[in-house]
């Protein structure tokens, strides 16, 4: 399903960081009318070359039909929605639909949903899985919760952002889906670091070990696209360690509330905290392999060999 030109909603986008910029660009490239806000204006300005307009505060998007938010954490979502100048605070207008793509707590999500309802704005929790490279390859995935009828209305917009959009239920359950996903991401990456260091200390190059792993039934899209970072120690950030720690905190809190033991997640959370303490705060969280190597008594060197990440960009 696609929108006819005359039926296309006017879109607002809040948050043009590494993820938000590319997602807003996909909507612009599909021909949508998009106005954007970012706390640091110059990060949003390149989108004007694609046809975007820029507003000076979130409330400037209140008259848009659909507004997306993509921010770093729960306080940021509150700041751009219900705090003074937020998109839900304009006395004259409110969006028809507010869609949040951030990874925030279920508690904050519920607060924003209540505030949106008071303005007769429908709210969808729609956290995403991926990074800028995944977005470029068209492989972003999205879990969505809220009204099924509203989801059905905006699904064509969400489908422009990536390859997979899954409606998972009412209210805030998409938050739990995303947090569970990110906890697994951290546990999986730590495990991958451990076995890769084990193989290297035993005399096998990281490139050879990961080529074998990626070709086996245990290999995945994720292990393949993370392999270049592990082999060549290129830690340009896609997702930082402090953001991963935030998600572990959310996941372990949910586990306590639901009485679900998560011993592997708890152990990995401590390793993430140790990596942050060692100074890994600006790099990609794949630097877990550096701490694993240090704890194993070896120092890693970049192997400087070509490694296929398995992602082929498409529009």
Q: Which residues contact 217 (CB under 8 A, 6 or more apart)?
A: none
Q: Residue 137 has what pLDDT?
A: 85
* CATH 1.10.1040.10 assigned to 176-295: yes
Query: Which pLDDT band holds residue 312 (cuts at 50, 70, 90)?
Result: low
Please check the confidence at residue 278 and state whether its pLDDT lies above 60. yes
Superfamily covering domain 5-171 = NAD(P)-binding Rossmann-like Domain (3.40.50.720)
Please check the confidence at residue 155 and state whether its pLDDT lies above 50. yes
Q: Which residues contact 155 (CB under 8 A, 6 or more apart)?
A: 1, 165
Residue range(s) in the chain whose domain bears CATH number 3.40.50.720: 5-171
Residue range(s) in the chain whose domain bears CATH number 1.10.1040.10: 176-295
Cα–Cα distance measured from residue 263 to residue 253, given in angstroms and rounded to the nearest whole number? 13
Cα–Cα distance measured from residue 67 to residue 159, given in angstroms and rounded to the nearest whole number? 15
Three-state SS for 235-290 is CCCCCEHHHHHHHHHHHHHHHHHHCCCCHHHHHHHHHHHHHHHCCCCCCEHHHHHH
What is the rounded average pLDDT of the residues 303-312? 88
Q: Residue 253 has what pLDDT?
A: 94
* β 122-125/128-129 pair status: unpaired
The total number of residues written for the chain in this structure = 315
Query: Which pLDDT band holds residue 133 (cuts at 50, 70, 90)?
Result: confident
Distances (CA, A) of 114 to 59, 124, 183, 210, 278: 18, 12, 27, 47, 40
Query: Which residue has tokens 């003074």?
Result: 84
Mean pLDDT of the chain: 94
């Amino acid at each position: 399903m696609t929108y006819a030109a005359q039926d296309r909603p006017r879109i607002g986008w809040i948050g043009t960081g590494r993820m938000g910029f590319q997602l807003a660009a996909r909507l612009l490239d599909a021909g949508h009318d998009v106005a954007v806000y970012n706390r640091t204006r110059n990060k949003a300005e390149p989108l004007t070359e694609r046809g975007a307009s820029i507003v000076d505060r979130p409330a400037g998007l209140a008259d848009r039909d659909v507004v997306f938010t993509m921010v770093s954490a729960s306080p940021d979502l509150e700041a751009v929605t219900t705090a003074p100048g937020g998109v839900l605070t304009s006395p004259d207008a409110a969006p028809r639909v507010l869609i949040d793509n951030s990874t925030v707590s279920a508690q904050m999500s519920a607060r924003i949903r209540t505030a949106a309802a008071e303005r007769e704005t429908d709210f969808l929790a729609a956290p995403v899985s991926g990074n800028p490279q995944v977005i470029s390859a068209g492989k972003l995935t999205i879990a969505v919760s809220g009204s099924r009828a509203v989801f059905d209305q905006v699904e064509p917009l969400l489908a422009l952002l990536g390859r997979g959009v899954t409606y998972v239920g009412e209210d805030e359950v998409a938050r739990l889906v995303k947090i569970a996903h990110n906890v697994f991401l951290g546990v999986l990456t730590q495990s991958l670091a451990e076995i890769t260091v084990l193989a290297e200390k035993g005399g096998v190059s990281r490139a050879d070990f990961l080529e074998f792993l990626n070709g086996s039934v245990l290999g995945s899209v994720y292990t393949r696209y993370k392999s270049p970072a592990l082999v060549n120690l290129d830690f340009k950030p896609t997702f930082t360690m402090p953001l991963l720690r935030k998600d572990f905190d959310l996941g372990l809190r949910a586990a306590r509330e639901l009485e679900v033991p998560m011993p592997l997640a708890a152990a990995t959370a401590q390793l993430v905290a140790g990596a942050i303490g060692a100074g890994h705060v600006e790099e990609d969280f794949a630097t877990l392999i550096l701490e694993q190597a240090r704890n194993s008594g070896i120092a890693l060197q970049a192997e400087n060999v070509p490694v296929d990440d398995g992602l082929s960009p498409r529009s």
